[in-house]
Amino acid sequence: MKHLTRAVTLLAALAVATPALARPPGMEDEPKPVDSPFTVRLDYTYDDSLSLGRSGHGFELGFGRYLYERSEVYVFYGFNKASRSDQHTAGLAAETTYWMKQDIPLRPTLGAGLGYASAKLADESNEDGFFVRFSAGLKLELHPDAHLAGGVNFYVSPSDIFPSGNSATDTNVTFFLGLRFHY
């Protein structure tokens, strides 16, 4: 339970600090409207803890909307499969892209979200429950409306819902690489 309390506290702090951190010094206080407010995300995901000695591979699909410049809210669905276990995740998350020099197309991102996971373990038992997710990554601009993204997701749950070999645990880490489209 202490992991969940810390996760919710960090999520609240991120929500309060994100608008101020996402704008560089000297940028006007009012967020600018974006030309392409809707987003589609498609990620390949890798999880090395799904099964004993075998990693899990999967995908995550998300649809979102920019609330203001550089900050997005999205819903997501993910699936990871290993030889002896699998996991489904779904939820709501927010992500902020941080500013750097304007001539650098690579930008760091931070995100947080809430969701629900369901897993089938190697011993054929099922686990499910709620989680908090934190993410960090980088986005590379390929086109003004398309980005290549990569990073890591860290999951925390009050119960053991994430497959780990023949059992379950209350934390999980996945890595992702994918595309972001804005329309």
Contacts for 44 with CB less than 8 Å, ≥ 6 apart: 57, 58, 59, 176, 177, 178
Tens of pLDDT along the chain (183 residues)?
Answer: 555 555 555 555 555 454 444 444 444 444 555 666 899 999 999 987 655 556 788 999 999 998 776 788 999 999 988 777 788 999 999 998 876 666 677 889 999 999 999 988 777 788 899 999 999 999 998 987 899 999 999 999 999 888 877 778 898 889 999 999 988
Kind and range of the H or E element at 127? strand 126-143
Structural domains for the chain: 2-21+35-182 (2.40.160.20)
Q: What SS3 class is residue 31?
A: coil
Residue 103 has a pLDDT of: 67
pLDDT score of 22: 46
pLDDT reported for residue 51: 52
Task: Give the CA distances from residue 33 to residues 3, 38, 156, 170, 180, in Å, rounded to whole numbers and listed in that order.
Answer: 37, 12, 34, 39, 19
pLDDT score, position 89? 92
- The answer to whether residues 137 and 146 touch, using CB atoms and an 8 Å cutoff, is no
Q: What is the pLDDT of residue 98?
A: 78
Q: What is the pLDDT of residue 162?
A: 85
Q: What is the pLDDT of residue 93?
A: 93
- pTM of the predicted protein model: 0.77
Q: Quote the pLDDT of residue 42.
A: 96
